[in-house]
Amino acid sequence: MKLYYRFWHWLAKKMGRNTAFTPKEVIKDQLNEKRPLPLGRKEFEDWSDRIISGACIPGATARSIKFALADQILHLGPTIDHEADIYFIKCLRKFAINQVADAMRHEIRDSAKAELAAQEADQKSKLSVVEKNPGEVTPQTQGATDGKEVLSN
C-alpha cells in the first residue's frame, strides 16, 4: 500500500499538481508537509493559488485571500521559513468564520439598539401625553373651593 501512495506522491511532484484520481490520504500528507515559504512574486502566486484551491472559501475573492495570506506570512516568527499548507488553510477558514461571527454580532447589536430606541420613544410619547393634559389624567373634584371662599362666609 505504501508503494501505491509513493506513486501518487511522485506523480504529483512530476506534474506539479494532483489529478482527479489522487487518493485523499496522499492529499492529506501533502497538506501536512512543511514546504518553503515563497521568496519571489512568481513563487507567491503559485503558493497562494495552491492554498486558495485547498481553502474552499465561498464568496471570497482571490485578491482578498492573497492579501490575508501575505498578512499571515508577515505575522510568522522570524525563524520560520517552512510551514505546512494546512496551517494557512485553517487560518483562512478561521478568518472567514470570524468575519461571519462579527457580522452577526453587529447585526444583533444594531437590532437591539433599534428595539431599545423604539421602547424609549414609546415611553416618551406616553410621558408627553401626561405632561400636556394633566386634567385628563387626574380630574378635578366637584365642589372644591379655594380657601378665600371658605373664610368669607
75, exposed or middle or buried, with CB in 10 Å at 0-12, 13-18, 19+?
A: exposed
Residue 90, domain member (yes or no) = yes
Task: Give the phi and the psi of residue 83 in degrees, each rounded to 5.
Answer: -155, 150
Question: What's the pLDDT tens digit per position in 102-114?
Answer: 999 999 999 999 9
Q: How confident is the model at residue 58, as a pLDDT?
A: 83
Q: Are the beta carbons of 35 and 85 closer than 8 angstroms?
A: yes
Residue 9, domain member (yes or no) = yes
Quick check: helix, strand or coil at residue 29? helix
Residue 86, domain member (yes or no) = yes
Name the percent of the chain in helix, strand, coil, to the closest 5: 70, 5, 25
Domain count, the chain: 1
Q: Are the beta carbons of 26 and 18 closer than 8 angstroms?
A: yes
Q: Does the pLDDT of residue 143 top 80, yes or no?
A: no
Residue 87, domain member (yes or no) = yes
Residue 93, domain member (yes or no) = yes
Residue 135, domain member (yes or no) = no
Spatial CB neighbours of 23, under 8 Å, sequence gap ≥ 6: 4, 5, 8
Q: How confident is the model at residue 135, as a pLDDT?
A: 55
- Of residues 107 and 146, more confidence is placed in 107
Residue 14, domain member (yes or no) = yes
